[in-house]
Structure 1
């Protein structure tokens, strides 16, 4: 076959341009350069590439091969002093990658990238590429260029008889010849280089690897752009962790075979041990060759679905991080061109995989942090069931400042909170954790929403001028059937009534926390029994295509259909209720964020099914403001608990209420009121007109009093106080007897399913 009849090079990029005078010398070196130049040019999307050989004795760089250059363009660098300020000489002196901006050879290039060809005794030459892109080559391109240079230096070996044109060292330097047409020129006497049926699309591959974020992305890029040109159908990425091989990605292999490989000790996998130990690829052309060279791999060889395998070391940051295995279902041979290309690609893939694994590690840590900051499960409360979703921004660390919570309060009341720290990332997540902890602490003090926001605003303000957070805090009272809430720069709640109608209050929110000035407004909603409260952050309803108001309008349109489809008002038990709420969350998210991977903001969603307390489970009595109050209360307790079937709790309840009323008579003021609430526990509340704080005293051995609240604490599951506008309420909770608890749940369950 003549030179003009040679098949088109399998590499994307300019054809090799070389005169016969450049190719005198070893065929091995000529073939290496024929492979190197177009691949290096394509790697950097350049105009052309050059290779110089270093003549140490003369202190000069001799041009031995070039591609994509006319004779006049290459002549200026045909013979370079090694102390000249040109890219090849600078790379030689510095011993590493250099990039020089400017069109040094008048070819229209933006700059020149150069790397030394390093042999056993130091730099033996330089590879240079004339670039056209803006700025320096990126990390992936530099990595591939270094891999190509290392492979070429190894092939040339640095000896004079392996370098094309080596015998001409005493001449001023050869001149490359321009190709008259698009056909590449082969070296005289060398067999034409044959390659994969189709060229590897280097531009698309490097772009895909540059954009790859996770290990899965790297696997997909290699499977899409590398396997087809070689006719390969199998791919495995394995990394070395603690002396064992871990499969981090694959394509074309069954899971049972991957399970056999994953976790295998390196000492038991001879081919990989050899490859990682020598950093040299191994090409096995048939299963018989594998069996012959590695008899200890018999079991793996027999169950493997592949016949021919290329074991390619992945080098990153100067160390072997693992292996890229490219495999074939049929036996095949590997040409020099294929071996060179696969070796070079493995270096590029290694850099990308190392970066992706670092992202995977940080991603896992971020997700663990997010899980630790958000509630792992939402409590199942007598007056509320709930489901929630947190969706991090589609691009980023998957950790941010959105949060939600459901907090049980006294008397079956429920606090609901959802918030959004401005920004996205680890710092915002840490701030979110602090705010969530603060909200839970303040909620335990039974603060109303406006007072809680005043305290929370101070906390955010103390974090600095750049910290802001929006928040919605609401308290649902199942006895009064009200929802009291405050807004700080946050979207309002949306209420879904049992008949399917949707209501969202039209209120103006206060500014975000950190920018607001107390006092905060308090708003109140009347809630029908079995209502749904839908709370969300702006990331759910706001996007590039719609503002917050439009998103809320779309949410209100979605909810009637979604609640009907998920049968949220038809559940007959608690498990079914939770399951319906989970399905409703999924429906809302998929409707509002159909392409979540493209979102740039975190999104939070909390849906609460609010159940009001039945009238027959609440009993109230106004008491006289004098010492008779305790006796009247005890009589009422005996009658009411008898009617509820809670006779076992009469004595303890009488004692608790007597102590609480006695404290009011001695230390506070009226009016005095008693309220009993039957739920999953028995709640006793004593109201008075004083704002004094009850506290447990440390009574001495000889003190005749001061032990009342100690007795209350000992006999109650929990107790506390909450403050009202005109007084306070002291409350206690007692566990119900098992039989009464079951009966009460059945009674309330039938009322809930109405």
Structure 2
């Protein structure tokens, strides 16, 4: 009696029984005789009864599909002929009811000493249950992976949303519905007892536009979900129409099969509701319901942050708006544009400001400044300082006095805050500016030829600090704005680019001013779009653009103006070229060479013997004889002196050239300076004089 028989007789389960219970059998294939001995459990795996099996291999695999039979035979043949010692195979065996039972064979090849395969022994087992469970687990993992991906992508997209508009853009923009795993979306917010649908996304959902703003009642499923605080999962739109008759007329055009209506609640506050629509779904299992509720929680938290941000930003910008001037006075002889852009950081309102002040004798005061800090306290101090500076300027004080008094006023507020600013008094009639600077950026000037200069303004300490340190000196710098030139003042938010020094920002600002349109309003918009919207949105920006009206003259009497800086050697050459080109354009080519030569002599005299730049004016005097008039204005009161240069002298011939080339010349006092002028001509009048306009 074998040990196995004794175990069975004693009621114990032997190895064969264990294998049979696990649908596993064994086989012994004699390759010499071509017969396979398969135990009872093994035959059950192959779907055969012991009495019906004749021991032939072909009978064992008779139920296999031809392609599976050929594949199994190829596996065995390859293992036997290649000298391998084992092989495995996995194949389905169709059952009587047509369902496949998956079978796994694991075999060992027994060979004679000469390597010839004699027998194959192994086990065969039914793996259908294992594969079914594996497929179930794989499908479950796939669904969970999809759900996890939906949550991660939605959370990531909403993490960058700052405003309510950002939230709706993340949900309805490109890829928004795909992130949610839905085919349509409706998002509503509760406002003053109404449910306002702020976003609709998905094909055919536009039919719900009539229901965008409604009283918050239980007449619609989304409103009902908001009021009850419970989600509603809909697998039949027909039942939805019966429960909500008011919605019934809109359901037919909707190309969806299922929907879920979710309340949006954050910190026990009902914010609104979200509806998700699906085309390929007719039911919601427990995992899908939990996913929908999780998405609603994520959206609710994002909306709560966004609503708070929008409220804070509205408060901040409203406070800032009350501190800035409500309107800008009209000016004669030019145009002014102002812009203020608040930082995109909630309540982080700053102390940047601008102002335009009407002054006695037709002048105008312009100022741009920045109070230290980015909070409501900085904005409040800015409002007080702006009013004080406006009052001091309106009294007619000199620019240096205005800033000295403003510094004293700020120090007396005892705020531990300082402020920077640039202030200028402008006379647009003469183009004269008197500018002072208190620790602030200086102005930039765009000339009529498009070049942008940055005049050097001597500066004092920031307002407040100047008084604390006992240094209230704010030296004035005189600038000249010729007709058609533009002055730009701004705060550092327009030129500070993260990761770069301020010089890089100033260079970019100069390029933007040069490439922008000439009109003040258009140029202000251009600078905002090119610079603030690109890198300045993290800080407040105050911007003021002042343009002196162009003076082109008339077609019969054209005129140009140009300012030449003392520190710009190229400006002299550019001015001579501009004079020659203008005369050629006006049909007076025969006078161009003399005019260029005299232009150089007059400008060199100013640039060498005075302490500032010069304003060049070229105009045509049509009556009674068509002549050219050149005028060079400077700030020096010293008049030119006639000298007799020796043969080796390198200067002193300017007035001799004037006598030789000009028909008339003279010197005129101009307030704090003078103008040296000369006339060249006469010139012949063109046959069609109107064709040679400026």
Asked if residue 607 in structure 1 is aligned to residue 524 in structure 2, the reply is no
Partner in structure 2 of residue 320 of structure 1: 270
Relative distance call for 1:301 and 1:460 in structure 2 (3 A) is farther
Aligned counterpart in structure 1 of residue 404 of structure 2, from 450, 454, 457: 454
Counting only pairs closer than 5 Å after superposition, residues 205-216 of structure 1 correspond to structure 2 as 205-216=154-165
- Aligned partner of 2:520 among 553, 557, 581: 581
Cα distance in 1 for residues equivalent to 2:322 and 2:265? 35
Aligned pairs for 1:564-579 (under 5 A) are 566=517, 568=518
2:375 pairs with one of 425, 438, 446: 425
Matched, 1:265 2:219: no
**8 Å Cα contact 2:161-2:167 kept in structure 1:** yes
Distance 1:355 1:461, change over 3 A: same
1:543 aligned residue (470, 476, 497): 497
Corresponding position of 2:184: 234
- With over 3 angstroms needed to count, the CA separation of the structure-2 counterparts of 1:244 and 1:609, relative to structure 1, is same
Structure 1 pair 307/261, CA: closer, same or farther in 2 (3 Å)? farther
1:280 pairs with 2:230: yes
Distance across 1 between alignment mates of 2:356 and 2:190:
44
Partner of 1:121: none
Structure with larger RCO (C-alpha < 8 A, sep 6+): 1
What is the alpha-carbon distance in structure 1 between the residues aligned to residue 542 and residue 270 of structure 2? 42
Contact 1:233 1:329 in 2 (8 A): yes
CA apart distance, 1:258? 6.0
For 2:446, the equivalent position in structure 1 comes to: 496
Q: Which residue of 2 aligns with 1:700?
A: none
Task: Report the Cα offset of residue 461 of structure 1.
Answer: 1.6
Decide whether the 8 Å contact of 2:208 with 2:250 is kept in 1: no
Inter-CA distance 286–398: structure 2 relative to 1 (3 Å threshold): farther
- Determine the C-alpha separation between the residues in 2 that align with 1:506 and 1:553: 15
- Find the residue that maps to 1:295 and give its secondary structure: coil
* Matching residue of 1:574: none
The residue that corresponds to 1:505 in the other structure is 455
Summarize deviations over 1:335-367 as a string: whole Å, max 9, x none: 221111111321232222122111112222222
Give the Cα separation in 2 of the matches to 1:476 and 1:229: 58
**CA pair 554-277 structure 1, distance change in 2 beyond 3 A:** closer
Q: Which residue number in structure 1 is paired with residue 122 of structure 2? A: none
Q: Closer, same or farther in 2 for the Cα pair 1:227/1:498, shift >3 Å?
A: closer
Q: In the superposition, relative to structure 1, how do residues 259 and 442 fare at CA in structure 2: closer, same or farther (>3 Å)?
A: farther
User: Taking structure 1 as reference, are residues 389 and 431 closer, same or farther at Cα in structure 2, changes over 3 Å only?
Assistant: same
Say which SS state the counterpart of residue 238 (structure 2) adopts.
helix
Within the candidate set 518, 526, 542, 2:480 is matched to 526
Aligned to 1:291: 241
Native 8 Å contact 1:533 1:608 kept in 2: yes
- The secondary structure found in structure 1 opposite 2:217 is helix
Deviations 1:161-209 (A, max 9, x none): xxxxxxxxxxxxxxxxxxxxxx99999xxx9798488233334443444
Give matches, 1:255-654, under 5 Å.
Answer: 257=207, 259-267=209-217, 269-301=219-251, 306-329=256-279, 332-397=282-347, 399-464=349-414, 466-516=416-466, 517-562=471-516, 566=517, 568=518, 580-593=519-532, 595-596=534-535, 599-611=537-549
Change (3 A) 1:299 1:243: farther
Number of residue-to-residue matches in the alignment:
418
**Over residues 636-667 of structure 1, what are the superposed CA-to-partner deviations in whole Å (9 max), with x where a residue is unaligned?**
xxxxxxxxxxxxxxxxxxxxxxxxxxxxxxxx
Instruction: Write the deviation string for residues 63-109 of structure 1: whole angstroms up to 9, x where unpaired.
Output: xxxxxxxxxxxxxxxxxxxxxxxxxxxxxxxxxxxxxxxxxxxxxxx
User: In the TM superposition, what is the alpha-carbon distance from 1:487 to its structure 2 partner?
Assistant: 0.4
Alignment of 1:8-157 (within 5 A): none
CA deviations over 1:537-559 (Å, ceiling 9, x no partner): 11112223433334333333443
| Structure 1 SS opposite 2:474 | coil
Maintained 8 Å contact 1:272/1:323: yes
- 1:415–1:254 Cα change, 3 Å: farther
Deviations 1:103-135 (A, max 9, x none): xxxxxxxxxxxxxxxxxxxxxxxxxxxxxxxxx
**2: CA distance between counterparts of 1:412 and 1:304?**
67
Relative to structure 1, the CA distance from residue 198 to residue 505 in structure 2 (aligned partners, 3 Å threshold; closer, same or farther) is: same
Contact 1:266-1:272 within 8 A present in 2 as well:
no
**In structure 1, how many angstroms separate the alpha carbons of the residues matched to 2:377 and 2:345?**
17
Deviation, 1:260, is 2.3
1:492, distance to aligned residue in structure 2 (A): 1.0
Query: Which blocks of at least 5 consecutive residues in structure 1 are unaligned?
Result: 1-182, 569-579, 616-752
Aligned partners of 1:540 and 1:592 also within 8 Å? yes
Instruction: State which structure, 1 or 2, has the greater radius of gyration over its C-alpha atoms.
Output: 2
Contact 1:400 1:423 in 2 (8 A): yes
Q: 1:550 to 1:211 in 2, by over 3 A?
A: closer
Check conservation: 1:270, 1:294, Cα contact below 8 A.
yes
- Find the counterpart in structure 2 of residue 217 from structure 1: 166
Q: Deviations over 1:530-588 (max 9, x none)?
A: 321111111112223433334333333443332xxx2x2xxxxxxxxxxx322212333
Q: How far is 1:441 from its partner?
A: 2.2
Separation in 1 of the partners of 2:140 and 2:281?
A: 23
